């Protein structure tokens, strides 16, 4: 059932495990995530990006999440989160609709602007009894990786500075901190590293639950070390896209015409992947 993110993360802090935040944009992905949570008896975060909201519409995707979470997922705690929000007006709409957490991503802005927007977003979230995630440092995707390879940018320059993180937390009033420690958005297995010492320092100086974006594709030991160093939320999106496509490729050449039968193997594949991640993160049997 849908609960406040605060309830889920407070328990994760006490138990020293992480909770998966899985992106969804439709019924099939939502079913896969919630069914995995039920099967694993795990808390889970269902999150929507701005592009997912544009694809499905805010009311539609929230309606799907709300209905599936409170029926199929009625026996496990499920939080709803806005991922990588850049628009304060959309963030406000999500909070009013029932999201219990939102991410204000102004990490590409200058320091003063990031602080100002994140502080305003935190105030909006707290007025609704919700939590605010803000981001310091830059987490690269495909375009950023090109700039990294060309030498246009240096990875060390975009990682989260622990001392700045302490000030950022104090100035914004955020509840969870998204950090840049070497992960990448997208499928870049072998290119990603996690600066564990940096994570440990950020956690020590801020005392806040840390959020690891670009969490797909890391080694099991890397995940578990990051959790030891203060990560309590791990974002997963690409992993689900990859297993979805692989399963769909196996059925697209068949004679099937029923969309349910075509999509069912992909839903089952995503469910298995979500369950696997829950075992790694330590959230299984914690509902």
Q: Which residues are catalytic?
A: 83
Contact 185, 141 (CB under 8 A): yes
**Integer Cα distance of 209 and 79 in angstroms:** 16
Helix or strand run (H / E) with residue 23: strand 19-23
Four-residue CA torsion sign, 31, 34, 37, 41: negative
**Integer Cα distance of 193 and 181 in angstroms:** 8
Structure tokens at 134: 């803000």
How would you label 46-69 residue by residue, b for 16+ Cβ within 10 Å and e otherwise?
A: bbbbbebbeebebeebbebbbebb
Query: Any idea what DSSP says for residue 84?
Result: E
């Amino acid at each position: 059932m849908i609960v406040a993110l605060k309830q889920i993360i407070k328990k994760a802090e006490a138990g020293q495990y992480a909770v998966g935040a899985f992106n969804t944009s439709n019924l099939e992905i939502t079913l896969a995530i919630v069914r995995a949570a039920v099967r694993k008896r795990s808390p889970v975060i269902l999150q929507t990006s701005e592009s997912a909201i544009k694809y499905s519409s805010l009311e539609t995707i929230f309606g799907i999440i709300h209905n599936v979470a409170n029926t199929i997922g009625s026996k496990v705690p499920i939080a709803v989160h806005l991922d990588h929000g850049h628009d304060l007006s959309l963030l406000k709409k999500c909070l009013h609709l029932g999201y219990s957490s939102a991410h204000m991503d102004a990490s590409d802005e200058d320091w003063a602007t990031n602080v100002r927007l994140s502080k305003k977003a935190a105030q909006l979230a707290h007025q609704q009894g919700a939590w605010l995630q803000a981001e310091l440092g830059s987490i690269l995707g495909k375009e950023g990786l090109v700039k990294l390879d060309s030498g246009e940018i240096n990875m060390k320059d975009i990682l989260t500075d622990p001392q700045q993180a302490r000030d950022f937390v104090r100035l914004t009033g955020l509840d969870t901190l998204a950090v840049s420690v070497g992960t990448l958005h997208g499928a870049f297995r072998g290119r990603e590293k996690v600066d564990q010492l940096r994570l440990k320092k950020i956690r020590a100086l801020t005392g806040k639950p840390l959020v690891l974006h670009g969490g797909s594709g890391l080694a099991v030991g890397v995940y578990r070390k990051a959790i030891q160093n203060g990560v309590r939320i791990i974002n997963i999106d690409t992993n689900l896209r990859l297993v979805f496509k692989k399963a769909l490729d196996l059925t697209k050449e068949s004679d099937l015409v029923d969309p349910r039968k075509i999509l069912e193997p992909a839903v089952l594949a995503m469910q298995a992947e979500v369950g696997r991640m829950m075992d790694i993160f330590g959230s299984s049997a914690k509902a």
